[in-house]
A and B are shown apart, each in its own frame.
Chain A
Amino acid sequence: MNDTPEEIAVKDRKMFGFWLYLMTDIILFATLFATFAVLRNATAGGPSGAELFDLPFILVATLILLTSSLTVGLAILGSTRGYKKQTLFWLIATFVLGAAFLGFEVYEFSHLIAEGYSWERSAFLSAFFTLVGTHGLHIVVGLLWLGVMIFRLWRFNFRKTDINRLALFGLFWHFLDIIWIFVFSVVYLIGGIA
């Protein structure tokens, strides 16, 4: 069943509007990145990134998130072709991987806090927790959104409106992985150079 021209126009507007929201989010992250870059050495006698970061641990988390970007792409494709079981499978896989990534983050944060290196310790740590934490908060929102989508797709049997919303979610999730490329590279890799 094809969309009317009006429906196509509305879908196009929503896609473009959501895309623009993602652009504004890029600027938000850019501000946090700029702040991190400026404050990267402001450790106030406390530990630096090289002393704190567990790179192998973060590598695993990075690969988990990257895989979830793949699974969500596969899910979107399935949804547009009417492959319902497959779509739900990939979406649930995305959710599990996303939750796992979040678990890694939470573990890292609680570990740092337990050692006394919380966001209060120095400007560097404030910038670190805020940049990585903001990304984590976006992941939380994404998981909430994904949960609602999985429920609705299953319960209401893949309504057109939900499939359209799923496409927007896919954009959001890809975008979060793109941001993570830079968090991983700038904060952990570059920041972790001894």
Chain B
Amino acid sequence: MFEDIQKLIFGRLTLEDFVHEPIMAGAGISMVAALVIAIIAVTYFKKWGYLWRNWFTALDPRKIGIMYLIVSGIMLARGFADVMLLRAQQVLNDSPELLNADHFQQIFTAHGSIMIFFVAMGLISGLFNLIVPAMIGARDVAFPFLNSASFWLFAAGMILINAPLVVGEFSAAGWLAYPPLSGIEFSPGVGVDYWIWSLQIAGIGTLLSGINFFVTILKMRAPGMTLMKMPIFVWSVLCSSSLIMFAFPILTATLGMLSLDRLMGMNFFTSDMGGNPMMYINLIWAWGHPEVYILMLPALGIFSEIVATFSRKRIFGYTSMVIALLAITVLSFTVWLHHFFTMGSGASVNTFFGIMTMIIAIPTGVKIFNWIFTMYQGRVEFTTPMLWFMGFVVTFTFGGLTGVILSVPAVDFQLHNSLFLVAHFHNMIVGGVLFGAFAGFTYWFPKFTGFTLNERIGKYSFWFWVIGFFVAFIPLYILGIMGATRRLDSYDPSLGWEGLFIVAGAGAVLVAVGFALQVLQVVVSIIQRKKNQVGGDPWGARTLEWSTTSPAPEYIFAEIPTVTSRDQFWEMKQQKKDLRTPLYTDIVVPKRSGAGVVIGILALLFGLAVVWHMVWLVVLSLIGTIITLIIRLTNDSPDEILKASDIAKHELQRGTQ
């Protein structure tokens, strides 16, 4: 009877689920401890009101963007910790055994899932929010509340993916959880469920964000900014958003079906009763390939802005850059089978997708040449962002070439699921997305804080990252060609591969130093902020976001600028136009709203309830979500007015900048 009540309230959760073996327990305890310390600190300094009013309920895209960056930064640390454990295990090679097989599998699953969904996606979402509205001469995104809800869904997903450190276990099925391993028969525990619902919830947030930015860019540009006058970064966000809109529903449906298999005994991907696990692989990669372009395109856009600014020249070949972005967008839906060349398909299918994969490399190559031509005969300044660009060119091109190698099905039969593949995709994501995000972060940091990052530490960090990256991954290319399979926690010592793993491990340490230096850079810069204060345009840039103060006021632009050319801000500077205007009007801004936070909390509760089979909580959280949505969506007065007089006061203070 007592047991029945316990089952009813707690589902399949028991006290046992809080017990973990030492490393995981240590991680869980430190995480909770850090959280508790943070809560105590905020309470002690009486900052809850401030946090709630100015950050959690803010619908200002810059605030939301910074919150995304903070969460992504924390997740980068977690993903990194996972890497160090994995590398250490491979260096030690079971003498002694640092991680047993099950633990190793949970860690590489966590590493991949966190890095892609909560670091890379979070970084680009953060940069979208921080930059896009100002860059197109708008004051906000199209749907500010949706923006907030998207962030809090992302945060809920982040909590769900970290919860296994404290209660339960994580998935051991890899970052894409192929069935039948991820089905209920072979993974009966909570791990895969945590994985599914963390991604589902964060995925919905991303999908809504995609819609938000697509509408923002198409409908809220400053007057005169035609599509062909938009900065290339805005084009890249437009393309990335359209990929999000058309690819993420595939993920939602596929994860949904896997969940139905697990929860309701369905047979989509089981190995009997008619199920077809390959259909999962087919669908998940139909999403998965566009996903990597979702991450990549904004990084390419960031570099276009940075190269133009620091070469003091407009971007070379604007039209071909746009066409290349559009081509990549469309083509990214035609290559997905290259992720499973070896899984049974015949020659016709493999040939088609192999050729399409080779073709998609071409527009990317066009972009690289255009950047180089932009630099040619420009007055190039090698600031930290420009260094990240140089690092990107070398790293990403190298990785792209290995991609073309892999696109040949016959070669892929040798290299599929080897460490060569692992090295390739890290080359693309680290060299492309991460370096792009770091470059963008460094470049735009002064805009949203008002002071610059410490250049010297930035440069050191860059060198550690780039050199560390190559030291860490060239050995993996070699190992892959020699036949090393991925995802193994140890390799037979008689193979003589230990030396290469040690070198790779050393590389990982170098990268870790690079990351630590980045954290140090931010801390030092904050401490030294009074010394490094800058005005609106510290780099001598070209695009509209630099025409505001740093940071910009809540309304961003007192008067929406009129655009007549590309690189409008640059043109305005050349013509020495006064950017202030004598005529101010009332501006409508959205009121703060806690509904986004509430929805995030309800989504988190829903996720936990489904994972642990707590039916009552599933029902309650669903009802709560519906009620919250009805209340928020029938709110007829969500906005408030900023009076012209207040705006005038603020703008007149600008004279000192």
Please determine if A and B sit in direct contact within the complex, based on CB atoms under 8 angstroms apart.
yes
- Docked CA distance A130–B382 (Å): 56
Q: Are A127 and B268 also in contact (CB < 8 A) when A24-B207, A31-B254 are?
A: yes
Residues of B within 8 A of A13 (CB): 142-143, 215, 219-220
B85-93, B257-265, B334-342, B455-463: which lies at the interface = B257-265
Residues of A within 8 A of B215 (CB): 13, 16-17, 20
The answer on a CB contact under 8 Å between A126 and B254 is no
The answer on a CB contact under 8 Å between B249 and A24 is yes
- Docked CA distance A14–B252 (Å): 23
Residues of B within 8 A of A42 (CB): 267, 274-276
Interface positions, chain B 236-257, Cβ under 8 Å from A, are 245-250, 252-254, 256-257
The answer on a CB contact under 8 Å between B274 and A27 is no
- Docked CA distance A123–B180 (Å): 14
Kindly report which residue of chain A lies nearest to residue B275, judged by CB atoms.
A123
- Docked CA distance A14–B219 (Å): 10
The answer on a CB contact under 8 Å between A6 and B283 is no
- Docked CA distance A144–B246 (Å): 27
For the complex formed, measure the closest distance between the CB of A115 and the CB atoms of chain B, giving whole angstroms.
17
Q: Pick from B146, B212, B249: contact of A31, CB below 8 A.
A: B249
The answer on a CB contact under 8 Å between A123 and B143 is no
Q: Does A67 contact B (CB under 8 A)?
A: no
Residues of A within 8 A of B276 (CB): 38-39, 42, 123
Q: Are A31 and B250 also in contact (CB < 8 A) when A9-B219, A42-B274 are?
A: yes
Question: Please, what's the 1-or-0 string for B207-234, where 1 marks a CB less than 8 Å from any CB in chain A?
Answer: 1000110110011100000000000000
Q: Which residues of B contact A (CB under 8 A)?
A: 142-143, 146, 207, 211-212, 214-215, 218-220, 245-250, 252-254, 256-257, 260-261, 264-268, 270, 272-276, 279, 283, 588, 626, 630, 633-634, 636
Q: Are A35 and B219 also in contact (CB < 8 A) when A17-B142, A21-B211 are?
A: no
Q: Does A122 contact B (CB under 8 A)?
A: yes
For the complex formed, measure the closest distance between the CB of B111 and the CB atoms of chain A, giving whole angstroms.
27
Q: Are A35 and B257 also in contact (CB < 8 A) when A13-B142, A123-B276 are?
A: yes
The answer on a CB contact under 8 Å between A35 and B279 is yes
The answer on a CB contact under 8 Å between A44 and B274 is yes
Interface positions, chain A 19-55, Cβ under 8 Å from B, are 20-21, 23-25, 27-28, 30-32, 34-35, 38-39, 42-44
For the complex formed, measure the closest distance between the CB of B173 and the CB atoms of chain A, giving whole angstroms.
20
For the complex formed, measure the closest distance between the CB of A151 and the CB atoms of chain B, giving whole angstroms.
10
- Docked CA distance A191–B268 (Å): 18
Q: Are A23 and B245 also in contact (CB < 8 A) when A17-B142, A28-B253, A127-B268 are?
A: yes
- Docked CA distance A71–B257 (Å): 34
Q: Pick from B265, B283, B626, B630: contact of A35, CB below 8 A.
A: B283
The answer on a CB contact under 8 Å between A17 and B143 is yes
Q: Does A161 contact B (CB under 8 A)?
A: yes
Question: Please, what's the 1-or-0 string for A168-191, where 1 marks a CB less than 8 Å from any CB in chain B?
Answer: 000000000000000000000000
Residues of A within 8 A of B265 (CB): 119-120
